[in-house]
Amino acid sequence: MKESHAAALAAIRWQGGIDGHLELIDQTRLPAEQVWLACRDVATVIEAIRSLRVRGAPAIGIAGGYGVVVAAGEAQRLGLAPASALAHVLAAAGELAAARPTAVNLRWAVERVIGRLAGTASAEGAGGRSAADLATVLLAEAVAIHDEDRLLCSAIGRHGAAILPLGDVLTHCNTGALATGGDGTALAVVTTAWAAGRRFRVYADETRPLFQGARLTAWEMVQRGIPVTVLVDSAAGHLLATGRIGCCIVGADRIAANGDTANKIGTYGLAVLAAAHEVPFFVAAPSSTFDLKLADGAGIPIEHRPAAEVTSPWGQMVAPPGAEAFNPAFDVTPARLIRGIITEHGVISPVTTADVARVLGSG
């Protein structure tokens, strides 16, 4: 089904109760049309995550959490006995968690939802919980994750708006309502500052090869009435040299304990350019995006995507047959290039292992 672009900005919603289903805005269809995709089985949720119909670390985490509930719904429809229902849900959870490797929020959310099932398998002969009972527990936790993300986005927006430098803002990829369960991460900073009366222009890198900046960030800014200009990724250095950019601000898909940050490919290059022009470079992300088991960014897995995204974007051949493609979906920006990481707990600055632990309360 389709909705007007004037509809409230959101990317994810759960329809119905324990026998309901997940709905996602199909972001591959934006900005031409806003279409909601109904996910009534786990395979559809996984395909939506892998094909970037839903994207953004917090959003795919929320989708993964709801995907576990979808698995419980499948077990109900199949009439599985308690033990088989639990096995079905656990197997689906494993597939969901592995759907995309770089963003830590996906596995975090799936494991958190599944963690609520601890002790659901009763002693042998006692039966265990029915599929409907499992779904009740799982849905409550998935909704809690979604609700919490809305609050996290608001807190990130407040903390970031308080330190946002004067001048226009340059961003990369999409970090707004389409990428989260609330108003966004980096874009929440932008929209919060705008709502408070600050005035500036947002410059959005196209973010090749899938154009999330041009298609999604620009679309969100237009919906909110915030001036936006799209530029090709390779024009960022020239733009920074003009002196009109007050700061760069991006999101994150995984952050190591020392602050090294994995984000959409091109982020590292933008951070280097920002440093060369002495423009502050900020990252905005919730605490769930931190992987404190990793000492630094060297251990972050980098997803490589199909060559056709580069050689034939949107079905249009731009490279000759036989040409190969290098298509990493993410890169890692060293902590030394990041002025501050804006979280729901406050701003981590300077970005060091000690300050990450201090702000997140883990040290």
**Active site residue ranges:** 253
Q: How far apart are CA 114 and CA 139, in angstroms?
A: 11
Provide the residue count of the chain.
363
How does 246-264 read in b/e, with b if 16+ C-beta sit within 10 Å? Answer: bbbbbbbbbbbbbbbbbbb
Number of H helices, E strands in the chain: 12, 15
Query: Would you state the structure tokens that stand for residue 186, as one six-digit string?
Result: 């980096």
Q: How far apart are CA 283 and CA 266, in angstroms?
A: 14
Cβ contacts of 268 within 8 Å, gap of 6 or more: 331, 332, 333, 337
Which residue shows structure tokens 């630094």? 296
**Helix spans in 123-279 (H):** 131-163, 186-195, 212, 218-224, 236-241, 267-276
Q: How far apart are CA 185 and CA 178, in angstroms?
A: 10
HSE-CB of 20 using CA atoms within 13 angstroms: 15
Give the residue from 350, 341, 345, 340 showing the smallest Cα distance to 360: 345
CA dihedral over 187, 189, 192, 195, signed as positive or negative? negative
Cβ contacts of 13 within 8 Å, gap of 6 or more: 22, 23
